[in-house]
Structure 1
């Protein structure tokens, strides 16, 4: 009996909003780097027989971003023209909430969800966390995702800082973090990607702090 992961690649919110809209541009990794990796992952998944789920976020008319009937709410044309096995429209950060994603995953025998798209710390993170809690193995392609800088009453964080911290946290418990090339190699080899654990991640962090 095969133990190869039964993967689906989920492409989250790669919409015009992040390229020429109100949330522009994805800063780290920059869209000039992340978009080609997203397309590479989509093409590689299709070629390998990995199902592709495309997700788009739609907000009601008059919303500041992601209006369903506006250009910025539409999928990036390079994503829109590529093969997909399923299309989901959502209204919350998690791709599971209010959608048929969980049922589609069950119907297709998927046990591993591979996450790409935008943004690392918002819709990606919400989907990663919920997928893990639903018992799925999760993979996060760090160079096919991206973050924006934030500043609010809690302080300031650069896009690079947000992306790095979320990636480290994912790897510690929630998702195996990999590059697109590393993920494609694992797909070709039928291998699972390994995540870490909280205890060992903490021990390494304490050891690094002690050496500083």
Structure 2
């Protein structure tokens, strides 16, 4: 049986793009690039940070490692997808982090409570390509959990942007050690907030 592939678009949201509260340099360019990529896939899903009260994940004095400025608060413009991102072909959206940090899309669920791994299996997906923001945090966490869940996993680096070279280097090593494959070169590295 032919392997069925899906594209997972991770957290391409206003607060993670230029002008947002936790902007990643190149976020808007990632939104544009991902939109151009969508026609290559028949199955596309997206994840979305959707925080209500994530506890210590939010801080007025963030360390930018475990704590961050408030971002992607549920029902705000910051939590919305970037306007350059075409969302019409998303088969499902997985909200994550209501009451926790939740870096991985596999911690999210649809509005009716279906988790990402269960959704992919129900649609007979065996291979996933992961794109979005930020490469060294939510993209990496999603890709690692995809491998742990048994999916053949690839990160398309041309459709991602990382927060910093140091955190990307550590994430890259962890992903490679886990068996994640890579395609392309990182679009941008460097946060606009640092």
State whether residues 117 and 145 of structure 1, in contact with CA within 8 Å, keep that contact through their aligned partners in structure 2.
yes
Which residue matches 2:48?
Answer: 56
Mark the CA change 1:129 to 1:61 in structure 2 (over 3 Å): closer, same or farther: closer
Which residue matches 1:42?
Answer: 38
Q: Residue 142 of structure 1: CA displacement?
A: 0.7
Q: Structure 2: where are the runs of 5+ without partners?
A: 59-69, 110-114, 186-194
TM-score by length of 1: 0.68
Q: Residue 168 of structure 1: CA displacement?
A: 4.7
Alignment of 1:101 with 2:107, yes or no, is no
Three-state SS of the structure 1 residue aligned to 2:105 is coil
Distance in 1 between the 2:145 and 2:125 partners? 15
Distance in 1 between the 2:33 and 2:172 partners? 17
Q: Residue 126 of structure 1: CA displacement?
A: 1.3
Larger Rg: 1
TM-score by length of 2: 0.73
Which residue matches 2:157?
Answer: 142
Higher helix share: 1
Q: Structure 1: where are the runs of 5+ without partners?
A: 149-158, 181-212
CA RMSD of aligned residues (A): 2.2
State whether residues 21 and 71 of structure 2, in contact with CA within 8 Å, keep that contact through their aligned partners in structure 1.
yes
Task: Count the aligned residue pairs.
Answer: 161
State whether residues 61 and 68 of structure 1, in contact with CA within 8 Å, keep that contact through their aligned partners in structure 2.
no
